[in-house]
Structure 1
């Protein structure tokens, strides 16, 4: 195992539906860490998303679970190597049932700093922001 990894834990309403959604994005389900309560989605070697059915998710917390359909609790920004990969991920997400969110103010800010990003909302209301940053050489 790498020295550092990130596991983002997300509550979901329908585990099988959510697994299919993330597989459509090209990400793999790690069966070793998947059961009826949770599924481990491998984004890459160091980034995993744990999909937890709400009832199971609640066993890890003291506070109420946010209703992400009406409240944004977090933004999941994912750096990608190219603008094309940003567009490809968004296209796959839309095909899988996500919705795109467009913020014209954010586009102007991104142009000013050389960043390109798109935003999609997954089936459970989680906000993903794939982006590409053109670093000066």
Structure 2
């Protein structure tokens, strides 16, 4: 699956994954990593979360986070891998525009 020019995601069956490694596939009750995907706006975050729920995943496995300048929702794919759809407006971070502060609030 091509996400952008810089990001490609391989979606594999368990049998195909086993050709890459002998390591066991963890149960859906565990977490390995959270893969964050930056979205263009809040609506895109909601759309990704809803698409996961509509296609065998689980929406909102952690509480929705809305900090004003940042908005995210976490979902689990059918194998239990955690994905974070997030949107951020760095110019809206409290203190980001204060004199002497970097664009991310140093």
Q: TM-score, normalised by structure 1?
A: 0.57
1:122 has 2:77 as partner:
yes
Cα distance in structure 2, aligned partners of 1:102 and 1:64? 23
1:44 has 2:26 as partner:
no
Q: Which runs of 5+ in 1 are unaligned?
A: 1-40
1:81 has 2:37 as partner:
no
Residues 119 and 62 of structure 1: CA distance in aligned 2, closer, same or farther (over 3 Å): same
SS in 2 for 1:98: coil
* Partner residue in 2 for 1:133: 88
Between structures 1 and 2, the one with greater helix share: 1
RMSD between superposed Cα atoms in Å? 2.2
Residues 131 and 50 of structure 1: CA distance in aligned 2, closer, same or farther (over 3 Å): same
Q: TM-score, normalised by structure 2?
A: 0.71
* Partner residue in 1 for 2:62: 103
SS in 2 for 1:60: coil
Cα distance in structure 2, aligned partners of 1:73 and 1:134? 28
Between structures 1 and 2, the one with greater strand share: 1
Cα distance in structure 2, aligned partners of 1:95 and 1:57? 24
Cα distance in structure 2, aligned partners of 1:93 and 1:82? 17
SS in 2 for 1:76: strand
Q: Which runs of 5+ in 2 are unaligned?
A: 92-96, 98-106
